[in-house]
Amino acid sequence: MIIISPDTELPALLDITLSGVAGINSSLHLYGQNNDLITSSDNNPAGIGEEIMGIGITKPGSYYVMVTAKGYASSDQPYKIMYDLRKHNVSEEMEPNNNFNSANQFVQNHMKGRISSDGDRDFFLYRSGSGRKDFYRIEVRPPEAVDAKISLYDKNRNLIISLDNSGAGGNEVFPNFCSTEDFFIVISAKHNQFSSNYYTLSVDQLDKPNTMETEPNDTKGKASPVNGGSITGYTSYKKDIDYFLLEYDRRVKIEFVIEGVKDGEIKVSITDPLGYILKSVTVKHNIQKNLTEFVDKKGYIIVESIRENYDNPYRIDLKSGN
């Protein structure tokens, strides 16, 4: 039993470590004051200990630790249970945060957390509250053993997009997420991948012009309207396709001046009003290429990702002719 006294500074984080016993496949469980299970750890094979890390303690009282062994195994070798209660840093996740109701709220622009067991999912709530269209760069930097995944949900808990572009240890990035309201970020990993090491999740608000694309815009029906004489976009995920809507009151000749993605490759196409491609060009790196085509009152620009680079945008300037 772990007793948290009333004079303890709360909230705090509780870490519990169980030593290993040769030949014993053990598991570790933490229960709350009403004998409700808070969390369990059953990650390691026989002979290796278990740990429960970063459990949020918000109320004083008694907490209970239970140790079990699989298969009714026993041993004369003793085990040790060690625990530490430490001050909660607002930039560190507080477990359990494995559903929308227990999501940790962002206070700063970065958080650190752990995928501490198979199937662990960490939920975070980012409060925007501005009511305007804001753009964010969202990135998770996982430890080497973890192939991380980012999933973004709106405030009504509807999935917007999931990103799993990199392998184990690789960063996952959404370079230009757009939202006018609060949103949830969920960090998870592939089956049987977890680590006692931290990942870092950052959300940085961007100062972007009104020419920025608004994801998702991967179909004609979701095309971003072209306002003014230029557009800016990103290859936001693998095989990303961006649609932009062109609308004029007459048939016009347009020169499209395309600056590609640094260290990336894109294909840019111009279509007729129904979306049939009229002309295309492939642009490698951030070189400039030009396309000239007539737009019969309506058409689309389609930007297809061939080789992604999530850090650098592309830009297309539109110049009207006669």
* Residue 272: predicted pLDDT: 97
The pLDDT of residue 289: 97
Query: Domains in the chain, start-ordered, CATH in brackets?
Result: 2-87 (2.60.120), 100-206 (2.60.120.380), 220-320 (2.60.120.380)
Instruction: Give residue-wise pLDDT tens across range 95-150.
Output: 999 999 999 999 889 999 999 988 899 999 999 867 788 899 999 999 998 999 99
| Other CB atoms within 10 Å distance of the CB of residue 144 | 9
**Residue 208 scores a pLDDT above 80:** no
Taking only the tens place, the pLDDT of each residue in 269-318 is 999 999 999 999 999 999 999 999 999 999 999 999 999 999 999 999 99
Residue 229 to residue 8: CA distance in whole angstroms: 60
**pLDDT attached to residue 132:** 82
Evaluated on CA atoms 153, 157, 158, 159, the torsion sign reads positive
Q: Which of 177, 184, 180, 185 is nearest to 216 (CA)?
A: 177
Residue 120 one-letter amino acid: D
Q: Which residue has the tokens 């290993």?
A: 20
Residue 237: strand, helix, or coil? coil
Q: Is 321 exposed, middle or buried (0-12, 13-18, 19+ CB in 10 A)?
A: exposed
Mean pLDDT across 204-218: 84
Burial, 102: exposed, middle or buried (Cβ in 10 Å; 0-12, 13-18, 19+)?
middle
Q: What is the pTM of this model?
A: 0.87
Mean pLDDT of 229-242: 93
Q: Band of the pLDDT at 73, cuts 50, 70, 90?
A: confident
Buried b (16+ CB within 10 A) or exposed e, 189-214: beeebbbeebbebbbeeeebeebbbb
pLDDT at 322: 62
